[in-house]
Structure 1
Amino acid sequence: MPSNNVTRLPTAKTPESEKITINVGFVDLGHIDLLVAESFYANRTDFIRTAIRNQLATHADALKQAVARKLLVLGLQHFSAADLEAARASGQKLQIRVLGLASFGADVTPELALATIESITVLGALQASSAVKAALAGRIH
């Protein structure tokens, strides 16, 4: 069973990124397109990723403090049915806190998730079957 202090790699192939949609004003979009046309960036996505990374770097100290304060696991945390069965056997209820990706194996049933997970806080992405997500909806913060 994963510890709340240990990052585990998922066994299945995990996407490297999450798709998001943003609205950008026309003038800002024109400026981005001009920078792309002038070869400062390969494309709009390259510009946006760079802008995000620059902002994250600007706030790096505040982010580190918040991660420590909230006791978040940084990175990837994967839970299989065996992990949750081990938690159930030990009488533990999991409080999952992840900054990155929390994923649940296809073998995790909604009943098992409800029996073993007290709460979930994910800043990033949560990957689970729609049935598991629906079962845990009241426990996801």
Structure 2
Amino acid sequence: MAKDTPAAGRPEPEKTEKITVNLGIVDLGEIDLLVQEGFYANRTDFIRSAIRAQLATRATAVQQTVVRRTLQLGNHHLSRADLEALQAAGEMTEVRVLGLASIADDVTPELALATIASIEVLGAFRASAAVKAALRSRIL
């Protein structure tokens, strides 16, 4: 089982997503000052800490919403075998994930369309460009 963070303390690349944040120059200057004074290792460290602090203040609301919306928390991977089993059973699945949802690279657009009724992902969704294009109308 993979660890959430490697020995260096940084998140593993496959478990992170890059985002862009626009900040005012005064805010950025204050962050740089805190970094220079040794409170944080760098800007990214400050931003991650701030985000985690905000998420902690709303942890109960997040948990209640996960339960209410029946979201799977964490990573959810669909392999070709998973989807072929659904197809053989004549079933379809609804993917509802808070975290990472991924579909194996060897899944064809046709198989995805035959077995995935809808996809709701709060976080990141990884699949081939062809599968994403085929499922576009089913992504909530």
Q: How many residues align?
A: 130
The TM-score with structure 1 as length reference comes to 0.89
Unaligned 5+ residue runs, structure 1? 1-8
SS at match of 1:121: strand
Q: What is the CA distance between 1:90 and its match in structure 2? A: 1.1
Q: Counterparts of 1:51 and 1:90 in 2: how far apart (Å)?
A: 46
SS at match of 1:126: strand
Does structure 1 residue 31 correspond to structure 2 residue 27?
no
Match of 1:5 in 2: none
CA deviation string 1:84-110 (max 9, x = no partner): 000111111111000000001111010
Unaligned 5+ residue runs, structure 2? 3-11
Match of 1:84 in 2: 83
Q: Counterparts of 1:14 and 1:24 in 2: how far apart (Å)?
A: 24
Percent identity between the aligned chains?
65
Match of 1:137 in 2: 136
Match of 1:95 in 2: 94
The TM-score with structure 2 as length reference comes to 0.90
| Alpha carbons of structure 1 residues 95 and 73: separation in structure 2 relative to 1, 3 Å | same
Whichever residue aligns with residue 133 of structure 2, its letter is A
Q: What is the CA distance between 1:16 and its match in structure 2? A: 1.9
Q: What is the CA distance between 1:14 and its match in structure 2? A: 7.1
Higher relative contact order (CA 8 A, sep 6+): 1
